[in-house]
Amino acid sequence: MVLVVPAFAAETAGSSALATLLKSVETRYNHSQSLRLNFAESYTGSRRPMQAEAGVLYLRKPGRMRWEYTSPAGKLFLSDGKEVFLYTPDDRRAEKSKLKESDDMRAPLAFLLGKLDFNKEFQHFELRPEGADTWIQAEPKSRNLAYTKVEFLAKPTGEIRQVRITGQDDTRLSFVFSNEQLNLPVAPDLFIFRAPPGVQVVEAER
């Protein structure tokens, strides 16, 4: 069953269930200072084979994140809260861009801690149960973003288990999360990008 909820205004059983679940997600992450979890990532694009990668994600307020890849080893996607860096060892260079201007579909997850507000950022919600968990599908209110649709698979406790992001060009980025740990000590230095010797840092093309 798919439940379509265009807004929070109607006090129906469906909108109440949606509001309760979204509040659980917001409360869980907005009240946390840091997060560590394992992720499996898959990417599909037009005329491109599926790309599968994996690693460890660290988040820390405010807006800091570190996607530390184990497959491919050495790849790094990092934000210090203001700028975003993408480093791929095979390319021997790192691309830098402003976090707020980045068109990378991983960037919005930097705000998962502390600033998550579904009603402010999204519209046209749909709920789809999957076992004990629920898929939440929504469209961003802004049309100036790199993505057109986001789907979250959430537990009743608010823990996000999967995220699917559909880009403006119909590319799809999917994440499966596991071993989530909240409020572990995460050193601030983990979110500072230090280019390896011989690696050039360049502005990302827009």
> Residues 10, 112, 143, CA angle at the centre, nearest 5°?
65
Q: What is 3-192's CATH topology? A: outer membrane lipoprotein receptor (LolB), chain A (2.50.20)
Region 90-100 average pLDDT: 88
Contacts of 49 (CB under 8 A, 6+ apart): none
Structure tokens at 44: 């599909």
Segment 5-39, tens digit of pLDDT: 444 333 344 578 889 999 999 999 999 999 999 99
Structure tokens at 118: 């579904």
Segment 60-87, tens digit of pLDDT: 998 899 999 999 999 999 999 899 999 9
Q: Is 131 left (phi over 0), alpha (psi -120 to 50) or beta?
A: left
Identify whether the C-beta of residue 179 lies closer than 8 Å to the C-beta of residue 72.
no
Segment 51-62, tens digit of pLDDT: 999 999 999 998
Q: Where are the domains of the chain?
A: 3-192
Secondary structure element (H or E) that encloses residue 20, with its range: helix 13-30
Region 101-110 average pLDDT: 76
Place of tokens 């502390």: 114
Strand partners, 52: 42
The pLDDT assigned to 145 comes to 82
Identify whether the C-beta of residue 142 lies closer than 8 Å to the C-beta of residue 150.
no
The C-alpha atoms of residue 10 and residue 106 are separated, in whole angstroms, by 32
